[in-house]
Amino acid sequence: MSLNRHMHPRNPYKEKPDFKELATTFADFRSHCSLGSNGKVLVNFQKDDAVRSLTKALLKRDFELEIDLPKGCLVPRVPQRLNYILWIEDLLVMNKMNNDVLGIDVGTGASCIYALLGARQCGWRFVATDVDEVAAETAHANVWRNGLADYIRVAHVDRSTLLRDVIRQFPSTQFTFCMCNPPFFECDETERRFTPEASSGAMVNQCNDESSEIDRPPPRSATLARKNELQVEVVIAYGGEVAFIGRMIDESVLLQSHVWYVFIYTTMLGKKSSVLALRRRLERIVGVRYTSSTLSQGRTARWVLAWTFRPDIELEEVITTTLLLPCSQIQSSLSPLEWIQSHLRELSIKVNREHDDSIICEARAATWTNQRARRRAEARLIDPANKRARSCIVFCNTYFPVTSQNRFVLRFRVRYCQGDDVVVPILLQAMGACAKERPEDPIAYVANYLLKEKSRFQPHKDPTTQ
């Protein structure tokens, strides 16, 4: 199922690109297209060249960026990369730090995609690093090709270098943020999911290989990449991206005792399980605050994590999911705030603080799960006593298990409006959740619950229309 509806609200790729228009404009992309029986333009994304051609076409059309993507190097998916940039921009805007921005892109890759998008889209400056000499040279050429050398400095660094050694080269410089999209496979996982390509020596994934015994669904598009772009070559207990970002967290702690430091540390993660592992690691550090969110695009979900040691930087209110509700009038003796609070209490949702037109809420138990089982259990309670006696044990022990696994925190905002008549919630925004669940699911449930309760009221009749 496509996740585009959950994409960042400012991401233009919420709407699928018009392949027909792109094929008309870009001859190279046109060579990878065919016309279906229904008249639609079809693209075979199981071919790496088709994915590469689409990326180059989108960057040229939408951002006036021309990049070289050598065969064998990882081809970035533009909507996904832009989602990460927009999420960081939200953090900076919320903290009024969006002027004179200087970021670090750890592992920029041959495309230098994050730095190029950040410079072109937001006017940010970057120090972009990579341990692969070929990737660093290609990234440097891409920067010069687009006239952004004044904004982006590409550096080839030693394999042991992560953050500290880079920052030491810029004494007395305060970096606004750092970003990272590390390889998230472990060595043995790379061997199971990818095979070497004879022509380029790069690793290629196995599209739609249902026989592969892996814990992730088969990809729908081709990925061709160097081995160091796919797996983390560090030996730590966890392995993979958890090891890489764990080391980044350790270095961020050490950097706080120096005059050079980073305001906000961020990373993208490819595995949901990594978010929980890294959050637990951050919980053990004194003085750190963090937040995590889900980035959705196409049929793929990624996760982002941000942390800071500065007490004046806000992280909690980064909007990750927004749902608009139809605004309508109701007849009720309660104010909008009282009406909303009364129904949120039924879902065991706590109101933490109030604003003029919104409330900030927090849920610590997944009360929206097992709804079908819940309704069946409630129906049994109105059965004759003999049936109820047989079902009460199931009701208590099966449908509502109270365990540490189903307890977590979701923060969200409910925005409402009020005029002469009573008007109920018009907007729900997720503001961060732990890695246990995607915030879209509980937010959608709360929205549907409020809409169902609102439908019980008869709307006011406008006298001007009578």
Q: Are residues 152 and 296 in the same domain?
A: yes
Residue 60 pLDDT class (50, 70, 90 cuts): very high
Task: Identify whether 434 is part of a domain.
Answer: yes
Q: Is residue 270 over pLDDT 60?
A: yes
Q: What is the pLDDT of residues 105-125, one digit of tens each?
A: 999 999 999 999 999 999 999
Q: Are residues 241 and 97 in the same domain?
A: yes
Alpha carbons 352 and 344: distance in angstroms, whole number: 12
Alpha carbons 19 and 122: distance in angstroms, whole number: 27
Q: Are residues 238 and 354 in the same domain?
A: no
Q: Are residues 243 and 132 in the same domain?
A: yes
Task: Identify whether 118 is part of a domain.
Answer: yes
Question: What pLDDT score was predicted for residue 427?
Answer: 55
| Higher local confidence (pLDDT), 72 or 148 | 148
Residue 304, amino acid? V
Task: Identify whether 370 is part of a domain.
Answer: yes
Burial of 322 from C-beta contacts in 10 A (0-12 / 13-18 / 19+) = middle
Q: Are residues 323 and 302 in the same domain?
A: no
Which amino acids are annotated as binding site for S-adenosyl-L-methionine, given as ranges? 81, 107, 130, 181
Q: What is the pLDDT of residues 329-339, one digit of tens each?
A: 545 566 666 77
Question: What pLDDT score was predicted for residue 199?
Answer: 56
Q: Are residues 251 and 380 in the same domain?
A: no
Q: What is the CATH number of the domain that holds 426?
A: 3.30.530
Q: What is the pLDDT of residues 204-238, one digit of tens each?
A: 455 554 444 445 455 555 445 444 443 444 434 34
Q: Are residues 179 and 284 in the same domain?
A: yes
Task: Identify whether 379 is part of a domain.
Answer: yes
Which amino acids are annotated as binding site, given as ranges? 81, 107, 130, 181
* Total domain count, the chain: 2
Percent of the chain scored above 90 by pLDDT? 34
Alpha carbons 429 and 426: distance in angstroms, whole number: 10
Task: Identify whether 11 is part of a domain.
Answer: no
Q: ∠325-330-336 over CA atoms, to 5°?
A: 70
φ/ψ of 286, rounded to 5, equals: -75, 135
Task: Identify whether 9 is part of a domain.
Answer: no
Q: Are residues 275 and 334 in the same domain?
A: no
- The residue range of the domain holding 170 is 70-188+198-206+218-308
The overall average pLDDT reported for the chain is: 74
79-88, 265-274, 311-320: segment of lowest average pLDDT: 311-320
Q: Is residue 421 over pLDDT 90?
A: no
What CA–CA distances, in Å, run from 49 to 28, 33, 282, 301? 10, 11, 40, 23
| Higher local confidence (pLDDT), 271 or 420 | 271
| Higher local confidence (pLDDT), 314 or 329 | 314
3-state secondary structure of 140: helix
Q: What is the CATH number of the domain that holds 293?
A: 3.40.50.150
Q: What is the pLDDT of residues 340-387, one digit of tens each?
A: 777 777 777 777 766 666 777 777 666 656 566 656 666 665 665 544
Question: What pLDDT score was predicted for residue 373?
Answer: 62
50-64, 75-89, 162-176, 234-248: segment of lowest average pLDDT: 234-248
Q: Are residues 143 and 275 in the same domain?
A: yes
Q: Are residues 302 and 251 in the same domain?
A: yes
Among residues 262, 283, 308, which one ends one of the domains? 308
Among residues 286, 308, 330, which one ends one of the domains? 308
Task: Identify whether 268 is part of a domain.
Answer: yes
Task: Identify whether 461 is part of a domain.
Answer: no
Question: What pLDDT score was predicted for residue 338?
Answer: 74
Q: Are residues 398 and 326 in the same domain?
A: yes
Question: What pLDDT score was predicted for residue 195?
Answer: 57
Among residues 279, 308, 337, which one ends one of the domains? 308
Question: What pLDDT score was predicted for residue 210?
Answer: 44
Question: What pLDDT score was predicted for residue 164?
Answer: 85
Q: Are residues 448 and 331 in the same domain?
A: yes
